[in-house]
Structure 1
Amino acid sequence: MTHRTNVSDCMGSYFGMPDAPCRSVVPLLSAPFTMSRLERSLIANERPIIRLPVTEAYFLMLYFESATHCDIMPDETLSSPRRYERHTVCLVDLASGPAIELQSRLDALAFVIPKELLREISENPADAAPRLRCRRGEADPIIASLAQAMLPMFADRYGDSRAVFQHLAIAICAHLLHGFAQKPLHIAQDWLQTVQRLMHDRMGEPFQMAEIASAVGMTGATFDATFRARAGISPETWLTHARIRRAMTRLRRSLLPIEEIARSAGFRDLTRFEEEFHNETGMTPDAWRKFTLH
């Protein structure tokens, strides 16, 4: 039979659901694979804070219904609400101490995948554990299909389901390793374009530059020095310029409120956005919009 984990081991306890169904299995050598069935409805004006445990593992969640929550940043501020549609996933590194504010009903299947398990399953188990890139709100039909196949295990409808659970756990890990493992990039001619694309793809959300450095296999100091040597400016300055250019385009092409455009360009502080915009263009955002619309 599959192993029923203790209540204290279940991810449900972190989501305010200590009795949430939870199952665990060791697919290969020693590292466990754990899944929890999470179903929670909110009462009026309830906004629970969910703080996940800090450990050397990845947290993967597959949404069975659309859900909305905000990330809690390291300074305890909230990101803009993000809506996760049905059958999309969220994949985060638990070592970073992720936390969210839940803003809607949650109906999901959550997995805890130790980095040691990924090392055991990888092509070169003697190497360090592979690193995965975080994913937020991406549709993943393969994970959705595998998750659906795991649901009967909570009711033991597969009977002695340990072998099935092991195979499905390995399939999920192999899928993540195949599609989302970070591979350190050599400093080639396209290095700067690669880094700028990584920042551009996340421009509309708050993130730490250390995350980009990690994605290309560098320490923060090495990344900063390499970027300055190739671009002539710091990565933070380049990102600010890129965000202002996005805002300029959206001000010219839409009548959305300025605060909404600022958020879409990655600015959570309207005053700072207006200051940076004026430094870049010599105009306020409102003046720029009026100038370009006439």
Structure 2
Amino acid sequence: MRTVAVLAFDGMSPFHLTVPCLVLGDPGGRPDRYDVQVCAERPGALRTNAGFGITVEQDLSIMDTADVVILPSWNPSLEPSEHLLSVIRRAHARGATVVGLCMGAFLVAVSGIADGREVVTHWRFAAELQSRRPEVAVRADVLWSDLGDVLTSAGTAASLDCCLHLVRTQYGVEAAEEVARSIVIAPHRSGSQAQYIPVPIPPDPSDDVIEKAMVWARARLDQPVSLDEWAAAVALSRRTFTRQFRARTGSSGQAWLLQQRLDRARLLLETTDHPVERVATASGFGSSAALRHHFHAVLGTTPQRHRQEFALA
């Protein structure tokens, strides 16, 4: 079990505080993965921006032993105390995973633990954070970023995606899908997906040809899928399909398809004892060599090592 310390502060959004508690707390009746505790610099009664109050019993000392430190939001008009920043730095220095959700990326950036690297925050506040902390590269074009030791995300729903990604990274694909089913959210949205896509969703779901194309491709992950065949399946030209897919998802069709194949392979490695060659075929990679190549390029590991880490007892 991993211990998680979640920061609360006076005047924060209760939604942002709830996200890590919901995703990591006890979804689906599985309290054996994370022990989630909420803390504050000054414990006691705190206000929220929703018109009601909360009571927090723990102080920041729990961050000194937590495996994961989550900063679910922040008020940019507040100057964080040196005490809070030093606690964040200490946690990071001893190896804790630090997660800044939405405006929590301000605390990550100001603490200095991401200097020389990138952080993600809500697109509306990205320019402000960049002007304050030129030492980091602030991104507003993706949902979340995982640097290994530091994770940051855009706001609201992207915070859910980032926390679900944390579950996926630490406990595997099956665990993440179990959590997603329990709280009824999409099991995986790639961090590289665009935060804001200026294309209206069709009012009638039956008109969403890209969603139809996704369903069609997911049902054929074990088969070669050419771009021409994929476009023809939803009666579009290749050029139109490519343009609409990127506008709808923020990524190319091939990048999206690769992520789906990797997810299928990870799930099979975690939940079956199939040989790697069989896993590669079932997930559409064709050969174990191709599977190993993409695992290393995208995930930084090998299929065998992934199975060792996440295989069911």
Short-chain TM bin: 0.3 to 0.5
Q: Which structure shows the higher helix fraction?
A: 2
Using CA pairs below 8 Å that are at least 6 residues apart, which structure has the higher relative contact order? Answer: 1
TM-score, normalised with respect to structure 2: 0.33
Q: Which structure shows the higher strand fraction?
A: 1
TM-score, normalised with respect to structure 1: 0.35
